[in-house]
Amino acid sequence: MGALESKKIVLGVTGGIAAYKAVEIASRLRKAGAEVHVIMTKEATQFVTELTFREITGQPVSVDMWGKVANFNVEHIALANLADLVLIAPATANIMAKIAAGIADDMLSTTVLATKAPVMLAPAMNTNMYENPITQRNMSELRQRGMQLIEPAAGHLACGIEGKGRLPEPVTIVQEVMDFMTGEQPLKSRKIIITAAGTIEPLDPVRFLGNHSTGKMGYAIAAEAARQGADVLLVSGPSALPNPAGVRMKRIQTAREMQAAVEAEYAQADAVIMSAAVADYRPKTVAAEKIKKSDDELVLHLERNPDILWGLGQQKQQQVLVGFAAETCNVEEYAKKKLTKKNLDFIVANDVSAKDAGFAVDNNRVQLYFRDGRTEKYPLMAKSELAKVILDKLAAILP
């Protein structure tokens, strides 16, 4: 029996020079036992014919909603419903932009919007298009939504330049599909509480004290934990990021609200990952009316907020506790102190003074310090990759 026996895969083919490789992808998926339904964009038909895919898959091929497909009004929903997986290979910058924006103007984009099945994309394009911050932003949005992106290969591109953007070999893509579809869910049914973004503390009805955290790291961990089967509660301070797929969301503002949300589910939790930047102080009094300016200096009196993680460490039973330490100097010393003081299993430390890592960017460079004294240093990597590393370490410790 093939690894994909009885799996129904919708293969989206978009208009890039690599579209011809999708023929081999379809063929390999079939050989692995999958039932393959191909949806081509109109542009893709410039590179490969529908007939080729029909022959290879033994199924009708859909192109656009209004043209050749007789029963279009049910078809896009039918394919969206029957899919166990939607794989788009190659995925152009254009289709990713459309999906990120929620546009449904052809059969493929409509199917993606209508499906509840997991979506994998294999981006392939010219290096400059790939590296363009707009494309990078769209890919980051898709990841946040729980979609799987297969890294393009580097090498000689059809446009004559060297760089990243080449569609990986069909055998590699099909292997990724098999790993994903048959992949174990190491965190299946584990209850994990994740905090993200910064808390804010009101000063008066229009002002607050806050910090630079955007939530990217915590949201990436939440999305990945859900993909690995965990029951995730994401407690988030204000953040512009969308709710990650498959995650229970609790949006809060202040440190005390975050504490209440975490503690409400702590007794049943298997793990807590505190990536939030919690405000250590709050204004002692919150003015009922907007504070008016005067010629005198304004003195704010601040009082301590609870240290949420320290409190969790005191009540710790079965829970694995993971903390973060954002430091601007003496990273190792400060991180290890927090590890001990807060009774953590491990702490993820980073130097937030680095420009290319940390706050508000998609990458991070961290060291992990473990309760048993182990230290692991990692190079600069995408927060989505780092999320996998952190959850791997967590899975290894979970009782």
Applying CB under 6 A, which of residues 34, 39, 276, 394 lies at the interface with ligand CTP? 276
The binder of ligand CTP chosen from 143, 338, 383, 393 (CB under 6 A): 338
Q: Does 280 bind ligand CTP (CB under 6 A)?
A: yes
DSSP-assigned states of every residue in 132-185: SHHHHHHHHHHHHTT-EEPPPEEEE-TTS-EEEEEPPPHHHHHHHHHHHHH---
The half-sphere exposure of 130 on its side-chain side, counting CA atoms within 13 A, is: 23
For position 170 contacting ligand CTP by CB under 6 A, the verdict is no
Cβ proximity to ligand CTP, 30 vs 338, nearer residue: 338
CA-to-CA distance for 286 and 316, rounded, in angstroms? Answer: 33
Q: Which of 323, 331, 346, 366 binds ligand CTP (CB under 6 A)?
A: 323
Contact between 216 and 189 (Cβ < 8 Å)? no
* Segment lying near ligand CTP (by CB under 6 A), choices 127-135, 212-220, 305-313, 376-384: 305-313
**Closest CB 278 distance from ligand CTP, rounded Å:** 4
Q: Compute the least distance from the CB of residue 300 to ligand CTP, in Å.
A: 18
Q: What DSSP letter does each residue of 309-354 carry, written as one string?
A: HHHHHHT-SS-EEEEEEEESS-HHHHHHHHHHHTT-SEEEEEETT-
Rounded CA-CA distance 92/367 in Å is 35
- Collapse the DSSP code of 126 into the 3-class scheme (helix H, G, I; strand E, B; otherwise coil) and give the result: coil
Task: Estimate to the nearest angstrom the gap between the alpha carbon of 149 and the chain centroid.
Answer: 10
Question: Applying CB under 6 A, which part among 86-94, 132-140, 224-232, 307-315 lies near ligand CTP?
Answer: 307-315
For ligand CTP, the closer of residues 8 and 251 by Cβ is 251
Q: Which stretch binds ligand CTP (CB under 6 A): 16-24, 175-183, 272-280, 294-302?
A: 272-280
Q: Which is nearer to ligand CTP, 293 or 301 (CB)?
A: 301
Phi, psi at 184, each rounded to 5°: -70, 160
Stretch that binds ligand CTP, among 15-23, 135-143, 167-175, 306-314 (CB under 6 A): 306-314
Q: Is 332 in the site for ligand CTP (CB under 6 A)?
A: no
Select 95 or 258, whichever has its Cβ closest to ligand CTP.
258
x/- contact string, 59-78, with ligand CTP (CB under 6 A)? Answer: --------------------
CA 166 to chain centre: 22
Query: Is there binding between residue 216 and ligand CTP (CB under 6 A)?
Result: no
125-164 positions binding ligand CTP, by CB under 6 A: none
Which of 135, 213, 228, 305 is in the footprint of ligand CTP by CB under 6 A?
Answer: 305
Return the number of the residue (204 or 280) whose C-beta is nearest ligand CTP.
Answer: 280
Tokens for 282, please give them: 């709050």
Compute how many residues bind ligand CTP; rule: CB under 6 A.
Answer: 14
Q: Which of 74, 101, 159, 380 is catalytic?
A: 159
Residue whose tokens read 């990536």: 275
Of positions 255, 320, 331, 391, contacts ligand CTP by CB under 6 A: 255
Contact region with ligand CTP (CB under 6 A), list: 43-51, 56-64, 200-208, 303-311? 303-311
In angstroms, rounded to a whole number, what is the distance separating the alpha carbons of residues 378 and 357? 12
Query: Could you tell me whether strands 201-202 and 281-283 are parallel, antiparallel, or unpaired per DSSP bridges?
Result: unpaired
**Which residue, chain included where needed, has tokens 């290096």?**
127
6: number of Cβ within 10 Å: 10
Residue among 309, 339, 366, 386 that touches ligand CTP (CB under 6 A): 309
Residue 324 touches ligand CTP, criterion: CB under 6 A: yes
Q: Which is nearer to ligand CTP, 324 or 369 (CB)?
A: 324
Beta carbon nearer to ligand CTP, 100 or 366: 366
Nearer to ligand CTP, 175 or 253 (CB): 253
Burial (CB < 10 A; 0-12, 13-18, 19+), residue 144, is buried
| Residue 159 annotated as catalytic | yes
Q: How far apart are CA 361 and CA 136, in angstroms?
A: 11
Torsion of CA 378, 118, 173, 90, to 10 degrees: -110
Q: How many CB atoms lie within 10 A of CB 62?
A: 26
User: Counting every residue, how long is the chain?
Assistant: 399
Q: Which residues are marked as active site? A: 159
Residues that bind ligand CTP (CB under 6 A): 255, 274, 276, 278, 280, 305, 307-309, 323-326, 338
